[in-house]
């Protein structure tokens, strides 16, 4: 049966690092899903069926974690003993928070631009570039052993996830209205 003591990287045969091979992750995920899918254990005893359900849950959670750059970064820090408290942990960087508000305003203002989709695309590219820079900052801090700074980068990544989602939602809404 599945070894629940291995970390998510070990589970998928990946090196324990931020950059991952997405194709290898997807292939390993499909292989593990096929091997442990509960349907394969329909004729087995209750213990084997429960174990298959647990394995599938673990595999799914591991896959979702490693697939997301923010969750992967967070998991890497957790492996190094850094704790996260979702009820309390957030960035207190005032300049960063102000910039987030400005980016949200830029998204909202894009709707009123002469070419709203083009303006929205420009803002989305800026958001994407800043998110990529934040990922680089995370990796640099992690590799330098600056775990608190790396944690701060992870906390900021959550804001960029929301901005990216808002950008996608707004783009879909505009496309629906325009076409």
Closest C-alpha to 137, from 154, 158, 117:
154
- Please give the CATH number for the structural domain made up of 8-67: 1.10.287.110
The pLDDT of residue 123 is above 90: yes
The pLDDT of residue 25 is above 80: yes
Q: What is the pLDDT of residue 68?
A: 96
Q: What is the pLDDT of residue 4?
A: 92
Domain boundaries, the chain: 8-67, 94-178
Domains 8-67 and 94-178 are alike in CATH topology:
no
Per CATH, domain 94-178 is 1.10.340.70: no
Query: How many degrees, rounded to 5, is the angle at CA 16 between CA 163 and CA 149?
Result: 50
Q: Which long-range contacts (CB under 8 A, 24 or more apart) does 24-29 make?
A: 25/63, 25/66, 25/67, 29/59, 29/63
**Separation between Cα atoms, residue 165 and residue 97, nearest integer Å:** 17
Mean pLDDT of 111-126: 94
The pLDDT of residue 71 is above 90: yes
pLDDT in tens, 141-165: 999 999 999 999 999 999 999 999 9
pLDDT in tens, 77-102: 999 999 999 888 989 899 999 999 99
Backbone angles phi, psi at 176, to 5 degrees: -65, -40
* Residue 38 confidence class, pLDDT cut points 50, 70, 90: confident
Q: What is this structure's pTM?
A: 0.89
Q: What is the mean pLDDT of the chain?
A: 94
The pLDDT of residue 40 is above 90: no
Query: Distances from the Cα of 62 to the Cαs of 12, 99, 143, in angstroms?
Result: 9, 32, 22
**Could you tell me how many residues make up the chain?**
179
Percent of the chain with pLDDT over 90: 82
Q: What is the pLDDT of residue 48?
A: 87
DSSP class of residue 40 equals G
């Amino acid at each position: 049966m599945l070894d629940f003591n291995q970390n998510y990287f070990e589970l998928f045969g990946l090196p324990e690092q931020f950059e991952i091979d997405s194709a290898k992750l997807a292939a390993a995920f499909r292989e593990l899903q096929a091997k442990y899918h509960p349907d394969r254990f329909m004729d087995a005893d209750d213990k084997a069926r429960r174990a298959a359900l647990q394995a599938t849950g673990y595999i799914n959670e591991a896959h979702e974690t490693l697939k997301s750059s923010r969750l992967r970064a967070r998991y890497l820090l957790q492996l190094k003993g850094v704790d996260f408290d979702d009820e309390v942990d957030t960035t207190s960087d005032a300049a960063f928070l102000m910039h987030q508000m400005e980016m949200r305003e830029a998204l909202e203002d894009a709707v009123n631009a002469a070419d709203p989709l083009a303006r929205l695309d420009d803002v989305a590219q800026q958001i994407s570039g800043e998110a990529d820079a934040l990922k680089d900052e995370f990796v640099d801090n992690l590799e330098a052993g600056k775990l608190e700074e790396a944690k701060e980068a992870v906390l900021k990544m959550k804001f960029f996830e929301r901005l990216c989602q808002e950008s996608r939602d707004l783009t879909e809404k505009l496309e629906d209205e325009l076409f």
